[in-house]
Amino acid sequence: MKQFLLDGQPIPFEDGQTILEAARAAGHYIPSLCWHKDLPPHGSCKLCVVKSAGRHVSACATPAKDGAEVESNTPEMNGERRGILQMLFVEGNHFCPSCEMSGNCELQALGYEYEMLTPRFRHFFPDRPVDASHPDVLLDFNRCIFCELCVRASRDIDGKSVFALTGRGIDKHLVVNAESGRLADTDFTKDDRAANICPVGVILPKRTGFAVPIGERSFDGTQISTETLKEES
């Protein structure tokens, strides 16, 4: 069987598997925010960055190669991941104490995983008004990390194309595909795949925010690495 070395450990793989898929199948965690098992790789969040043959590559989008030597869980790569997380935190308005996703948020959980104590950089404090027009779902754009999971799920799974990214650089933002720009004026429902795929706290079902209290949520007691490997095994 073909195999590559991940931090010195042999990882078996089948043709067509990416580094990330093979690593997780073998019980080794590589972090991600924009990757989802039901969708093609997107390679935008760069949390899954690994070093293969001395080059930085996205583990979610790079096919596993026989005999390759891959570095992932090293101080160097984890330090770079912490830097990416810090940039994501200052780019949006991530105010955990008032967020109802706190404890279930993958961005926050990765902050804990990689022991991010400070956002380090200068905050952008962007102006991103919320959209509360839909009867069942609230959109809080402040927390968007541009992973496009909702864009892709709505287009490729729900067949609705409710979301899109627009603008460039600091002006990049998530928009709703309606003439009014309001979620209420689309055929979006709370049962859409796109409504249940946001890794952070942008797409929130109304009236259920604190049904599970803070302290009893997905990542309150366990690390996201443990939780992810458990889910995928």
Partner 1 sequence: MTTPVPRKLRVATTSLAGCFGCHMSFLDIDEHLFELVELIEFDRSPLTDIKDVGPCDIGLIEGGVCNSENVHVLREFRRNCKTLIALGACAVTGGLPAQRNHLSLSECLREVYQFRPGVENGQIPNDPELPLPLDKVRPIHEVVRVDYFIPGCPPSGPAIWKFLTDLIAGRTPRLTGGLLHYD
State the nearest-atom distance from the C-beta of 192 to partner 1, in Å.
Answer: 28
CB of 89 to partner 1, least distance (A): 8
Do 205 and 195 contact (CB within 8 A), yes or no? Answer: yes
Binding mask 158-197 for partner 1 (x = CB under 8 A): ----------------------------------------
State which H helix or E strand residue 112 sits in.
helix 106-113
The number of residues making up the chain comes to: 233
End-to-end Cα distance, the chain: 20
How many angstroms separate the CA atoms of 111 and 67, rounded? 32
Identity of the residue, 35 or 89, whose beta carbon is nearer to partner 1 in the bound complex: 89
Using CA atoms, how far apart are residues 57 and 60, in angstroms rounded to an integer? Answer: 9
Give me the least distance between CB of 111 and partner 1, in Å please: 7
- For partner 1, which is the closer residue by CB, 26 or 90? 90
Cα distance between residue 208 and residue 30, in whole Å: 31
CB 118, min distance to partner 1, A: 4
- The crossing angle, in degrees rounded to 10, of helices 106-113 and 75-91 is 140
Q: Which of residues 195-214 bind partner 1 (CB under 8 A)?
A: 214
Q: Please, which residues bridge with residue 139 across strands?
A: 131, 203
Tell me the longest C-alpha to C-alpha distance in the chain: 55
Which residue number, 47 or 194, has a Cβ lying nearer to partner 1? 47
Alpha carbon 150 to its chain's center: 11
In whole angstroms, the minimum distance from the beta carbon of 102 to partner 1 comes to 4
Residue number, 43 or 126, with CB nearest to partner 1 = 126
Site for partner 1 in 95-154 (CB under 8 A): 95-99, 102-103, 108, 111-112, 115, 117-120, 122-123, 125-128
Nearer to partner 1, 118 or 233 (CB): 118
C-beta closer to partner 1: residue 5 or 214: 214
* Gap between the Cα atoms of 8 and 230, Å rounded: 23
Q: Which tokens in the block code for residue 4?
A: 């590559």
Distance of CA 139 to the CA centre of its chain: 17
Instruction: Find the shortest distance in angstroms from Cβ 80 to partner 1.
Output: 19
Rule CB under 8 A: which of 67-96 touch partner 1? 89, 93-96
Residues that bind partner 1 (CB under 8 A): 89, 93-99, 102-103, 108, 111-112, 115, 117-120, 122-123, 125-128, 214, 220-221
